[in-house]
Amino acid sequence: MVFRNYWDKIKRYAVPSSKESREFFIIIAVFALIASFNQWGNTTFDAVQGLLNYAGAFILIALSVFVHHAAQRLMAVKYGFKPNHEVWWTGLIIGVVLVVLTQGKVQLFIASGITISMLYQHRLGISRYGPGIQQHAIIALSGPVANAFLAGIFKTIELWIMPSALAHNFFVFNLWFAALNLLPIPPLDGSKILYSSRLLYVFLIITLLAYTAFAYFLHFYSYVIALLIGIVAWILYYVVFEKE
């Protein structure tokens, strides 16, 4: 019965509207252009090679963006809220300008966030009836966490099942996408998490940076070590800045 009610809420409220679907398509299309900016030929412009690389980037990014926002939307309806997609057009423009100015060296994928509105009939009898900053932070957090786990899945595939550049690209993009969305800039996810709890924000940032640094520079992949480093950072931040 509980799952049936949850499934009904998913069908009613979690599915993106036509406007949101168009916005997702635009974001993915622009992100794919940023990701494949310097892959349109080795020495000279090659339209065929560029289109193939663009198509590959589009598929990779579409899956990553879908997982990110699907996790947030599923979490929102679980708490009794309707998710609403918020486009940050300024961030999208900044990403395009930077990739052009740096000839593909700087790639920023920052263009959206999530807001929530209350589903009154699904919040009856719940303590703190209205939407609070803690629920908003948890919902926002689920997106980067989903990307981090997706990155781990593709790294496992690359290491143990089928080594490939595609799996590595999935791994790198999802970690970078998760990190960028944790920036404390509205409407990105990090702004909602920081507003809810500085301690949680420090823990998340340090954990993700630790995992990324170990993976990228040392080729060492361990969520456990990253979490331990995040816990140490949480304790140090609490003792130095929050205890008083």
Average pLDDT over residues 216-233: 83
**Listed residue (95, 196, 96) closest to 136, CA to CA:** 196
**Listed residue (34, 87, 40) closest to 58, CA to CA:** 34
Q: Which of 107-111, 133-137, 159-163, 174-178 has the lowest mean pLDDT?
A: 159-163
Q: Does residue 75 or residue 216 have the better pLDDT?
A: 75
- Predicted confidence at residue 144, as pLDDT, reads 92
Average pLDDT over residues 123-139: 70
Instruction: Give the domain ranges of the chain.
Output: 2-121+128-196
CA angle 79, 173, 34 (to 5 degrees): 110
- Predicted confidence at residue 128, as pLDDT, reads 59
Do 151 and 175 meet the contact criterion of CB atoms below 8 Å apart? Answer: yes
- Predicted confidence at residue 44, as pLDDT, reads 78
Number of residues that this document lists for the chain: 244
pLDDT per position as a tens digit, 2-21: 667 778 788 888 899 999 99
CA–CA dist 41, 115 (Å, integer): 40
Peptide bond into 144 cis (omega under 30): no
Confidence of residue 208 (pLDDT cuts 50, 70, 90): confident
- Predicted confidence at residue 220, as pLDDT, reads 73
Which pTM was predicted?
0.88
Burial of 63 per CB tally in 10 Å (0-12, 13-18, 19+): middle
